[in-house]
């Protein structure tokens, strides 16, 4: 197949490109090489064609789609960003860019899309109250967070809640600008699928980490932020009490999920969301501690600080992706984090 990978010079996209090339596919990359991610020109797979342009650039997107059988849409601004001044850039790169791409795909007759979505679309993950069963916690109150009470109580009886795995049919409740743009991307892609009869597989990534993560940027994932601190000789700074549960999934497993998705016909006229995780929930504090120990750096500092837009626990079941795609994560937390403590980051 000839596949267009938007954002194919980035962290996840570059691994997808490498895997597609190794599988014998013809790959074209469209990447804006944004300074927030690429402080120097990155190396890309020599077997792939690179077009340096923004996904909002309509003529360049049209040219990039020439002769393409499927699109793997990885291009996006990620992370919580700095402040609300980032909002227009998130909306432009993530939502306007996706709209431009989808319109061009409709004109070109390209009907297969794999969309990089995210677990952030759920907001908080799943919870269960011992008395009231499955519940959705209420909003996290600043007064409670300031007092160090980070665990959300049952909204009905006030008892402590047990985190559970969230499935793809859970309500979407974005808590940040980035999350809102990912929800919008899914809705735009679903509307495109309905109108064109195309298929969309929306891969809801969990906390992806591994080699080639960008260093020293507020737009990176928490694993990269911790690792960057260690390289500077500083301790990783952990927000809240470090007990936030996440599913840290290695980038090699995420790239494999994309390969499976691009080989799958999907469901014509529909968007199918699929959680892509490791199946091994771990705390943010665990990630910081293991990285610091293996790297040989300073022990993490638990700050008690918190941020608007953060959620307490979000981990998901990837059972649907296993059944639908044959997705099977292979990199364990211990293997992946031990390697990541030594993996090169991107400048």
Q: Is 292 exposed, middle or buried (0-12, 13-18, 19+ CB in 10 A)?
A: buried
Q: Is 219 a catalytic residue?
A: no
> Following DSSP, what letter does each residue of 225-289 receive, concatenated?
HHHHHHHTT-PPEEPTTS--EEEEEEHHHHHHHHHHHHHS---TT-EEEEEE--S-EEEHHHHHH
CA distance 295 to 291: 6
Q: What is the dihedral of CA 10, 15, 17, 19, to 10 degrees?
A: 180
**Active-site annotation holder among 90, 127, 178, 306:** 178
End-to-end CA distance of the chain: 32
CA distance 215 to 166: 30
Q: Is 294 exposed, middle or buried (0-12, 13-18, 19+ CB in 10 A)?
A: middle
Strands 301-302 and 237-238: parallel
Give the catalytic positions in this structure: 178
């Amino acid at each position: 197949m000839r596949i267009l990978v938007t954002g194919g010079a980035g962290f996840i996209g570059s691994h997808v490109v490498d895997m597609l090339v190794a599988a014998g596919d013809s790959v074209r990359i469209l990447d804006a090489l944004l300074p927030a991610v690429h402080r120097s020109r990155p190396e890309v797979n020599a077997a792939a064609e690179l077009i340096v342009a923004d996904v909002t650039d309509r003529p360049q997107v049209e040219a990039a789609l020439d002769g393409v059988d499927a699109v793997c849409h990885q291009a996006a601004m990620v992370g919580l960003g700095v402040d609300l001044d980032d909002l227009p850039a998130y909306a432009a790169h993530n939502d306007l860019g996706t709209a431009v791409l989808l319109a061009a795909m409709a004109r070109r007759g390209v009907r297969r899309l794999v969309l990089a979505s995210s677990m952030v679309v759920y907001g908080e993950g799943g919870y269960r109250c011992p008395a009231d069963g499955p519940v959705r916690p209420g909003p996290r109150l600043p007064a409670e967070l300031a007092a160090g009470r980070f665990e959300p109580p049952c909204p009905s009886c006030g008892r402590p809640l047990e985190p559970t795995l969230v499935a793809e049919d859970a309500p979407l409740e974005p808590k940040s600008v980035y999350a809102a743009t990912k929800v919008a991307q899914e809705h735009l892609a679903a509307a495109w699928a309905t109108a064109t009869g195309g298929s969309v597989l929306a891969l809801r990534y969990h906390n992806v980490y591994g080699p080639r993560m960008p260093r020293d940027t507020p737009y990176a994932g928490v694993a990269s932020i911790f690792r960057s601190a260690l390289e500077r000789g500083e301790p990783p700074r952990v927000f809240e009490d470090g007990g936030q549960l996440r599913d840290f999934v290695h980038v090699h497993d995420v790239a494999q999920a994309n390969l499976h998705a691009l080989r799958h016909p999907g469901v014509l006229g529909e968007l199918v969301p699929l959680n892509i995780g490791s199946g091994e929930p771990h705390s943010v504090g665990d990630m910081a501690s293991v990285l610091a120990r293996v790297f040989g750096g300073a022990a993490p500092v638990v700050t008690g600080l918190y941020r608007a837009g953060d959620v307490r626990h979000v981990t998901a079941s990837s059972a649907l992706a296993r059944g639908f795609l044959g997705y099977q994560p292979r990199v364990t937390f211990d293997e992946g984090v031990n390697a990541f403590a030594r993996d090169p980051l991107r400048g």
